[in-house]
Structure formats: structure tokens, C-alpha cells
Amino acid sequence: MKRTLAVAVVLTLFPITGLAEQAAPPDAGTGFFRLQRRAGRWWIVDPKGEPFYSLGVCVINPGADHAPSLGYSPYHRNIVEKYGSEKAWAEQTRQRLLEWGFNTRGAWCSGHVDLPEFLNLSFSAGHWVKGNLPDFFDPAFVKGVEAKAGKRVRPDDPSLIGYFLDNEMQWETDWRLGPPLFDLYAKLPREAAGKCALADFFRKRYASVERLAEVWSPAFESWDALLDAEELTPVEGASARAAADREAFTLTVARQYFRVTTQAVRKHDPNHLVAGCRFVSWLAPVVVVQACGEFCDICSINHYEMGPMGMAAYHGKKHAVRLFPEDATFSRFYQVARKPLLITEFSFRAMDSGMPNTYPPPLIAQPTVPDQTARAAKYRSYAETWARQPYFLGNHWFQYMDEPKEGRFDGENGNYGLVNIKDAPYDVFIKVVKETNNRIPDLHGQAEPQGLLDEVLVRTGELMRLSDSDFQKLMRDASLRQDGAPAETVAAALATACRTGAASIRLQPRGPGAEARIVYSSAGQRRVNSVEEAFGRRLHGELKAIAASRLPLIGAGAPGAAFEVAVVDEGGKQVVVLKRR
């Protein structure tokens, strides 16, 4: 008779060193920008060790936007006439930006103005206009990423904060009307690496092609025949299973993208942050944000308001994969990614500017406001909302100057600027921007920390990112101590469960006066970790609330450490079950 061994473990973990978040004490600099949690709040830390909340501006560039109908950039002509040189413009622009409370060059900036910056590597460059993405499994893509990373990264640059991998990728059908990721890969030819990845995915999920045919049409005589399919449609009555397959394969593709790109960047530059791929906020699939959190340091988001027609179309469309519910705080992005967030574009257009503001059409996206006063109120509202969240690192305004009224390359012709096309500031707007920026760091320093679950999951992610040997050494050392903090006990249990292949983890309350338990099975053994009663009760309550929400999913910011959260009744007790994804 096979016996099951019950093992009770209470662990205390020593502070983990060697991670970007805790590489040095708060008052010590490392010579590069890094991340750190201080009193439950995320911060960028500058090379000298000081907290840095990134208030950035995009397109700080004397060339500005080219107007195809004119054959030149009107802004550039105006600033050369006004200042005599790009160098003089740069000096004036830097002085202005610092005076207005900005401290970062965002995307699409030239090197003229001396400020800390993020660099966009654009690994999927050339795909932004039409939206169709490359095959991330293709050896040519992998080789191209490696070559570009080797050429473009700047490992020794102390003024560089980090890298954006890409910009506004079409993970789900959007304004560019391309297919969802699953359908894109289904259409690939049989010899494509991505099509082979799809076939391998199905082989692992279904015991036979006959079982596959119960969910997907057409039916195939063999797994090899699947490679010739150009379209897969759910069988009637199997839509739920097909939707789960779509999500799971989208996660597989996203993990491939983030794994390939982040490994290439870190191979050539271990010193700087990897800041995600600048998601379109409304159209970021939940599973893709999960993958971003697993591999990147920062989750970057471009956020613009939708107009009434755009909102109606968005809610009326049946999306191929789960997207996030509306929430200006982006709390669920953080819940899933468990990496700090950075808004990398946001903006509003005012009708008193004299600009056409006709594209994008305001009824669909980026609705206009009547004047600069209303524009300033929106800036303040959004910037302060984000600063009050402990998981935000900053926000970047799009953009420094207005676009040409004649339209840029894609037709945009809006009042996005801090200054107009003649380089004159919008004074009413700037006054409020300056006041807001000056108090933003203090607001963030007063942000309410997330709670016990966040503390546990951030710690779990740190443990998951350790090498196997370092993790095992830490566990051996930690197991010698018995006076541990409950958050570290739970994090150790979750990380151990994930590393040893446990499919699910259970948090069992045991009633007043008794410790809660974390239970999972691994390598044929039933493992039990005891958790102090009050801590276990509070953690149980936080997890129950997530299980009852519209998005019962949590991430720990590391591969293999994301969980679907559910509650089951066992003998009158509500047990939280964490199912690994």
C-alpha cells in the first residue's frame, strides 16, 4: 500500500540579495537606474540611490513630425527660425521641461535634450501601421532580436533608465483589423515555426486527433495534417474549451516573445531595466500582460480615452481572449503582472488650440475637450490617480509639440503638445501641469500599500527568479530558523510548490485559535505549511475577494508563478484553491 507523507514546514527567509529590487540599501547608489520597493511602494531609484518618479514627455525632438503634404516638418522650420539652431532649441527645451517638473525623455525622443531616458528597441519594427506581428518562433526572428540587441543596447550609460521592447503590438484585433494571435498562427504555412508550435501545443493538450476533433473543426486524420489547416473553428457546444485553448496558446506565444526579447537584452546589458512593450490599455489580453510580468521589470501602458462610438464598438465586440475591465487605476494589470506599471503615453486634445483634431475621430478615440483649462484638469486627475497607487512608477505625456495641422504620416493632426507648432507654450495648461508634477512624488510617497497578498506574491516572485542552487541554499539556511515572518513563510511555500511542479495549492483555515495551512502535493508527497492564524485569516479574505471578482487571477511576476483563484466548500469550511497557470 502506497503511503502519503505529511510534512509540516515553517520557514523564515533571510532578506534576498542580488535582485534588482534589493540590490543595495535605500541610501546607496549602484551607478544605474533600478527598481525598489520602499514601505510597500514601488520606485525607480536613480544611480545615486534617490527615489525617482518618472514624469516624462514623448517626442522631444527638434525634427518633430513630418507633414507629407508639405514635404517638411513645420515645427522644425519654426524652431530654426526662432532659435537659429537645434542646439539653442535644446537648451531652451531642457530648461522648460525641468521648470515644468518633467525629468524623463519618453519614447520617440532624439538625444538633443539631456535628461534620463527610455530607449525603444522596436523588435517588431515595421508592423505598427498594419499591426500584423512576426512569427516569434521563427529562427530568423530570434536571430534578428539578438543582432538588434547587440547593436543598440547601451550597457554602460548611467543616464539610460531602460528599454521598451516594442510599441502598441496587435495582440488582439484592434483599429488595424488584423486577426487575433491564435488565428494569425493558424493561418501560417505548414513549414512555419509558429505553425509547428501550434501543432505541438495541441499535441500536449489532447490525447489524440479524435479528442481534438471534439473541440475544433475541421477534423484531422493525423497531427501532421493539422499543419495544412488555414483556419480552426470551435465545434458547436465546445466554445468554452475552445476559448480556454485560445487563451492558453496566446499565453504560449506571448511567453515566447518576452523570453526571446528579454534574454537578448539582458545578455548584452545586465544593468538596465526592461520596460515591457507599451500595451494599448484597452486591448491588452490578460494572458499577455501575465507573460510580460513574468519576464520584464516594468509593465508599460499607453492609455487614451475612448469616444462614445469606440466604447460602444468595444463593448459590442466578442473578443477572442479576455481583456481587462475598465479601471483608471489599472489595479488588475498589476494584480496579474505583479510588476510596477508605467504609463508611457497619455494625452488630450483641446478645441481652443486651433488644431483640426479630426484624426483619430473624437467619436471613436481620444475625445476632445473644449479648452486648455479642461485639458489641464484631465492631466491633473489622471496623473494624481496614478501617483496614489503604490505600484506606479510614473507617467509620460504624448507629446512635446503639436502635430502638423496638415497631418503627419498616418493623418493625425492633433493638439497633443505642451507647446504649439510655433513652439509657444499653452500657458493655462502648463501652469496646472507644473503644479501637479511638483507634488506628484509626495503623493506617491503617501500611497496606500497593497496589502498582505501583494507582499507575499512579490516575495514569491523574487524566490522564483533565483537559480535552483541559490534557492536550495536559501531554503536550507532558512529552515534552521523558526521565528519567521508569516509573509515569508507563505512565499516560501508558494515558491517551493511551483518549483516542484504542484498543480494546485490550497489555503485551509482551521478556525479560531488554530494555524491556517498551505497544502499541496509534490513528488508523491503531501506537504503542509503552517501559517499564523491572524495572518492566514487576512490572506484568506484577500484571496476570497479576488476569487469572487471579474478577474480571479493573480501573478507573482515570474515564470511558472501565476494562479487562477477559486473557493471550494469542504465540510463547511471555505478553502481557497490556487491553480497554477
Which amino acid, residue 122?
Answer: S
Residue 333 resides in a domain: yes
Please report how the helices 239-268 and 193-205 are oriented relative to each other, as an axis angle in degrees rounded to 10: 130
Whole-angstrom CA distances from 62 to 21, 117, 121, 354 are 36, 16, 21, 22
Residue 118 CA to residue 274 CA, distance in Å, equals 9
Residue 554 resides in a domain: yes
Q: Which three cell numbers stand for residue 81?
A: 527660425
Same domain, 46 and 116: yes
CATH code of 538's domain: 3.30.450.90
- pLDDT, one tens digit per residue, over 124-179 is 976 777 778 999 999 999 999 999 999 999 999 999 999 999 999 999 988 888 89
Mark the ranges of the chain whose per-residue pLDDT is less than 70.
1-27, 126, 478-484
Structure letter (DSSP) for residue 341: E
Residue 173 CA to residue 175 CA, distance in Å, equals 7
How many distinct structural domains can be found in the chain? 3
Same domain, 482 and 408: no
Residue 483 CA to residue 12 CA, distance in Å, equals 7
Same domain, 144 and 251: yes
Residue 110 resides in a domain: yes
Same domain, 222 and 371: no
Residue 34 resides in a domain: no
Same domain, 133 and 225: no
C-beta of residue 49 within 8 angstroms of C-beta of residue 28: yes
Structure letter (DSSP) for residue 22: G
Residue 151 resides in a domain: yes
Residue 380 resides in a domain: yes
The per-residue pLDDT for 27 is 59
C-beta of residue 287 within 8 angstroms of C-beta of residue 247: yes
Same domain, 360 and 428: yes
Whole-angstrom CA distances from 155 to 31, 47, 147, 472 are 11, 13, 15, 31
Structural domain range at position 125? 42-175+246-445
State the Cα torsion 134-136-137-138 to the nearest 10°: 40
Domain boundary residue, one of 384, 410, 445: 445
Q: Which three cell numbers stand for residue 313?
A: 464598438
Q: Which one, of 414, 418, 399, 291, lies nearest residue 351 by Cα?
A: 414
Strands (E), 398-483: none
Domain boundary residue, one of 388, 414, 445: 445
C-beta of residue 296 within 8 angstroms of C-beta of residue 339: yes
C-beta of residue 426 within 8 angstroms of C-beta of residue 373: no
Structure letter (DSSP) for residue 283: G
Residue 1 resides in a domain: no
Give the side-chain half-sphere CA count within 13 A for 6: 7
Residue 372 CA to residue 377 CA, distance in Å, equals 9
The per-residue pLDDT for 478 is 64
Same domain, 83 and 164: yes
Residue 256 has a CB neighbour count (10 Å cut-off) of 19
**Consecutive H or E run containing 255:** helix 239-268
**Consecutive H or E run containing 234:** strand 233-234
Residue 36 resides in a domain: no
Give the side-chain half-sphere CA count within 13 A for 278: 28
Residue 319 CA to residue 286 CA, distance in Å, equals 12
Same domain, 355 and 303: yes
Residue 129 CA to residue 242 CA, distance in Å, equals 30
At residue 328, what are phi and psi to the nearest 5 degrees?
Answer: -65, -20
3-state secondary structure 29-97: CCCCCEEEEECCEEEEECCCCCEECEEEECCCCCCCCCECCCCECHHHHHHHHHHCCHHHHHHHHHHHH
Same domain, 388 and 501: no
Residue 287 CA to residue 209 CA, distance in Å, equals 26
Whole-angstrom CA distances from 491 to 6, 326, 439, 514, 515 are 19, 30, 35, 20, 16
Same domain, 197 and 345: no
Residue 253 CA to residue 263 CA, distance in Å, equals 15
Domain boundary residue, one of 397, 426, 445: 445
**Consecutive H or E run containing 441:** helix 427-445
The per-residue pLDDT for 482 is 43
The per-residue pLDDT for 346 is 98
Residue 179 CA to residue 182 CA, distance in Å, equals 8
Residue 315 has a CB neighbour count (10 Å cut-off) of 10
The per-residue pLDDT for 484 is 58
Same domain, 353 and 471: no
pTM of the model: 0.94
Same domain, 232 and 379: no
As to burial, measured by CB atoms within 10 angstroms (0-12 exposed, 13-18 middle, 19+ buried), residue 513 is exposed
